[in-house]
Structure 1
Amino acid sequence: MVSEVGVPEVKHKWGENYLGIINLAIAPIAIVVVYLYIRDKYEKEPLNLLFLGLLFGGFIVAPIIVVEEYLSSYASLIGNNLSYSLYVAFIVAALTEESFKFLIVYALIFENRNFNEKFDGIVYAAFVSLGFALVENILYVVNPEFGGAYTAMMRSIFAVPAHALFGVTMGYYLALAKFEPERKMEMLLKAFFIPIFLHGLYDFILIYQNPLLLLGFVPYVLFIWVTGFRKMKEHIQASPFKDKEIEKTESQEKIQK
Structure 2
Amino acid sequence: MIAVIGAAIAPGIAILSYFYLRDNLQPEPISMVIRTFIFGVLLVFPVMVLQYIMQTEWNWRSEFVADVVQSAVVEEFFKWMVVYFTAYKHVEFDEPYDGIVYAVAVSLGFATLENLFYLLINGLDIAFWRALLPVSSHALFAVWMGYYLGRAKFSGTARKEAGYLWISVGLPISLHAVYNAIFLATQHWLVLIVPFMAVLWWQGLKKVQRAHDFGSKTLTSRPH
Q: What is the TM-score of this pair, normalised by structure 2?
A: 0.91
Q: Please state how far the C-alpha of 1:241 moved relative to its aligned partner.
A: 8.4
Q: Which has the larger Rg?
A: 1
Question: What code does the residue aligned with 1:216 have?
Answer: L
SS at match of 2:215: coil
Q: Aligned to 1:134, what secondary structure does the other structure show?
A: helix
Q: CA deviation at 1:181?
A: 3.4
Contact 2:95 2:218 in 1 (8 A): no
* TM-score normalized by the length of structure 1: 0.80
Alignment partner for residue 84 of structure 1, among 38, 54, 63?
63
Check conservation: 1:54, 1:130, Cα contact below 8 A: yes
Tell me the C-alpha RMSD between the 2 structures.
Answer: 1.9
Question: Contact between 1:75 and 1:84, CA under 8 Å: does it hold in 2?
Answer: no
Q: 2:211 is matched with which residue: 235, 239, 256?
A: 235
Once the two structures are TM-superposed, the CA of residue 153 in structure 1 deviates from its matched residue by 1.0
Query: What residue in structure 2 maps to residue 190 of structure 1?
Result: 167
SS at structure 2 position matched to 1:197: helix
Residues 97 and 147 in structure 2, CA contact (< 8 A), matched pair in contact too: yes
For 1:90-105, what aligned pairs fall within 5 Å after superposition?
90-105=68-83
- Flag the structure with higher helix content: 2
Structure 1 portions without partners, runs of 5+? 1-17, 245-257
Aligned-pair distance for 1:75? 6.6
Output the amino acid matched with 1:148.
Answer: G
For 1:168-210, what per-residue CA distance to the aligned partner results, in whole angstroms no more than 9, with x for missing partners?
1100111111100331111110011100010111012113335
Query: Percent of pairs identical after alignment?
Result: 33
Describe how 1:171-186 pairs up with structure 2 within 5 A. Answer: 171-182=146-157, 183-186=160-163
1:238 deviation in Å? 2.4
The 1:149–1:234 alpha-carbon spacing in structure 2 relative to 1, beyond 3 Å, is: same
Worse overlay, 98-107 or 202-211: 202-211
2:47 matched residue in structure 1: 64
Q: Structure 1 counterpart of 2:199, which letter?
A: F
C-alpha contact 2:95 2:219 (8 A) present in aligned 1: no
The size of the alignment, in residue pairs, is 218
